[in-house]
Copies of this chain bind each other. A is one copy, B any other.
Amino acid sequence: MAWYEGAFFYQIFPDRFFRAGPPGRPAPAGPFEPWEAPPTLRGFKGGTLWGVAEKLPYLLDLGVEAIYLNPVFASTANHRYHTVDYFQVDPILGGNEALRHLLEVAHAHGVRVILDGVFNHTGRGFFAFQHLLENGEQSPYQDWYYVKGFPLKAYTAHPNYEAWWGNPELPKLKVETPAVREYLLAVAEHWIRFGIDGWRLDVPNEIQDPEFWRAFRQRVKGANPEAYIVGEIWEEADFWLQGDMFDAVMNYPLARAVLGFVGGEALDRDLAAQTGLGRIEPLQALAFSHRLEDLFGRYRPEVVRAQMNLLTSHDTPRLLSLMRGSVERARLALALLFLLPGNPTVYYGEEVGMAGGKDPENRGGMVWEEARWQKDLLETVKRLARLRKEHPALRTAPYLRVYAQDGHLAFARGPYLVVVNASPHPFRQDFPLHGVFP
């Protein structure tokens, strides 16, 4: 079984996790926004990869087995999705040296690290784009983008080149150009050889070229057959999960189902609808189970075991805000996340009950004051992580519905029975278990 089947992932937004310098040296001076201040769209808090490494004991105590880092390459944006240099970790994060250090300490404790690969577009500060901007038709980079006219109009609302959602800050790369293709594949391979354990791929559906993704898989798995490739696909992803492209996708359909079942009428559906989660249907147990059965049935078992199951991310409101502050519901959602097949993936701070609406509110500075933690949630996550470690069947066994009615669900995972009461009331029921446990 691959390391990434059933692993507990922890997602970190690097600018916001922990600010520290290299061991024994000070953190970068900034100036940065105050850590506790409400996050802003353009502000920097100065978190570093040195800081992530320094907090590894916290993650180990939590039970984390793998870290998914939001983008780390040099970028003009605090989220670093506007890539400026694919071969350099952002200097504010500590540069390549800090990533090297993080990989060393993480691997020494058996923790894997995957990076966020943004290959559909670059930032407008990217070298080839700047070259084209300055030299127009005389630039040898003229085939790197989808240019509709020269000179480029990059600092207006209406760019004359293809850009992600028309955003002039994010010119779309022309992946069909052999030099671009080779450049991106070289990036993918370079970082695998550097030591990362896989790639989370940003908006891969926008690169409508399965041959590119097949070549991508070959380069990555050629460099490390154990590397994990997980795509950001917000819907069902059969096309990508045939075995020739991705190992898994970010399982937003599962997130919607869990939120709809656990959150029910209490869920802040309007808030969810302002993000990629869309309009979430409240689900009763049976509908929820049907949704799960569909998700677990449509992919091969190794894909189901490797799916990046999540409740929230940097692209959604935070769990506690979706649950309108209900720690109980948040706890139940997290419990389900850890007890279903796939990789439970926790967005930094979710485990201590950080709140926050849509971007930028969902990207606050990690709360490190224990007095501000929701200790219940934190203990739940630790206990669930321990449970998975102690009972490997929770990673491997398929989902089997035993009982589902109203807000009440029972399902088996191998020799274990999970019983969930998502209603606001106590509930008592005898389950018919004949045939469930052989």
Contacts and interface: CB of A to CB of B under 8 A. Distances in A.
A427 interface: no
Interface residues of A, number: 37
Given A138-B44, A140-B31, A127 B92 contact: no
B82 A134 contact: yes
A50 to B, nearest CB: 16
Stoichiometry (number of copies): 2
A136 B46 CA distance: 16
A85 interface: yes
Given A32-B140, A127-B125, A140-B32, A134 B46 contact: no
A92 B125 contact: no
A77 interface: yes
A72 to B, nearest CB: 14
Given A125-B125, A125-B130, A130-B76, A138 B40 contact: yes
A74 interface: yes
B127 A84 contact: yes
A131 interface: yes
B138 A76 contact: no
Given A31-B142, A85-B85, A92-B140, A169 B134 contact: yes
A29 B179 CA distance: 10
9 nearest A-B residue pairs (beta carbon): A125-B130, A76-B134, A42-B138, A43-B138, A42-B135, A76-B131, A30-B140, A76-B130, A155-B155
28 contacts: A28-B140, A29-B179, A31-B142, A32-B140, A33-B138, A42-B135, A42-B136, A42-B138, A44-B135, A44-B138, A44-B139, A46-B140, A76-B130, A76-B131, A76-B135, A77-B135, A78-B135, A82-B134, A84-B127, A84-B130, A85-B85, A85-B127, A91-B127, A125-B125, A125-B130, A125-B133, A125-B134, A130-B130
